[in-house]
Every structure is written in C-alpha cells, then in structure tokens.
Amino acid sequence: MAAAMEEQTTGTKLKWLWLAVLVVAIDLGTKAMATAMLTYGHPVPVMPMFNFTLLHNTGAAFSFLADAAGWQRWFFVALALVVSVVLIGWLKKLQRHETWSAIAIVLILGGALGNVYDRVVHGYVVDFLHFYWQEWHFPAFNLADTAITIGAALMILEMFRKPADSGKPANGSE
C-alpha cells in the first residue's frame, strides 16, 4: 500500500525523458548540419553580433582544459555520465507538482548527453553559435550548451519560486 501511495506522488516525472531525447536529436542534427555546411574556423555572418562559426572544443565550457594532453576527453565523458545517472535518479524522485524541476533536469540531461556523444565519437564537441560585440567574442557554443544553460536557469528560478519551508516535517507527521 505504501509503495502505491509513493508511486502516486513520485516517479511520474520520468515521462519527461522524451524532452531529453528531443534535445539530443536536435542538437546532433544541428551539429551535423554545421559540420556539413560550414568551413572550420570560417565565420558566416547571420546578423550583426552573430555568426555561424564551426569550431571543435576538446575542453569543457569556455574551452576549459582544451589544451590538456587528451585525458580530459574521457574525464568529461565520465563526469557527464555520472551526472546523467544522478539527474535520472533525481527525476525519478520528484513529486507530482515539480514539473518545472523535471523540465530543468531533462534539459540539462539532454544537453549533457548531446555533448557526450560528440566527445565519444569525435573526441571534441562541435560548436557553431558565435556571438560577439566589436572586438569581444563570446566562446562559440551549441544547442546542447543552450539546453544546459536554460535548464540550469529554470532550476535556479524554481528554487526562488517555491514557497519557503513552513517548518513542518516532510512526511506530514508532527
């Protein structure tokens, strides 16, 4: 009986995994298009302050550890896989009302897996979105990075949106 009650309030958010699959599919599709249609390192102006520029990132965000000897590839793969397992476990334990948290988690998960695919298959992450202002250039990124960023922002917003703990025990008993 207790397992049935727990299932009614938790575990229902695994249905959001479709969004992670969609993020991975769109991310890999746009990376394949960028690879096929762009010349490495050659910017293609789209609008003022924005180019498509094909780049390969062997590091992490902002090319962190990109100049390392190659060990970082498998380190980042392992890290992303561990984080993915933790995110799926967290998603499974969410309560029925925590929909925005579920969306945030699956966006981060989908982005992480999109970049893991690149690291395993290519040895680098394909980046192609390039914003700049005059001589200042923001590091190129991809749609997986965008999904991770949006998911993290949603998670932060969700922390502030939730009502403060009223001091009652979590199980409702006193």
> Which amino acid, one-letter code, is at 38?
L
Of the residues 67, 118, 145, 165, which is catalytic?
Answer: 145
In eight-state DSSP terms, residue 139 is: P
Of the residues 27, 67, 118, 127, which is catalytic?
Answer: 127
- Closest to 24 in 3D by CA, of 148, 131, 130, 134: 148
- Closest to 105 in 3D by CA, of 31, 30, 156, 162: 156
The CA distance from 64 to 142, in Å, is 16
Q: Is-catalytic flag, 165?
A: no
Token pair recorded at residue 133: 């202002």
> Which amino acid, one-letter code, is at 43?
P
- Catalytic residues, which ones? 127, 145
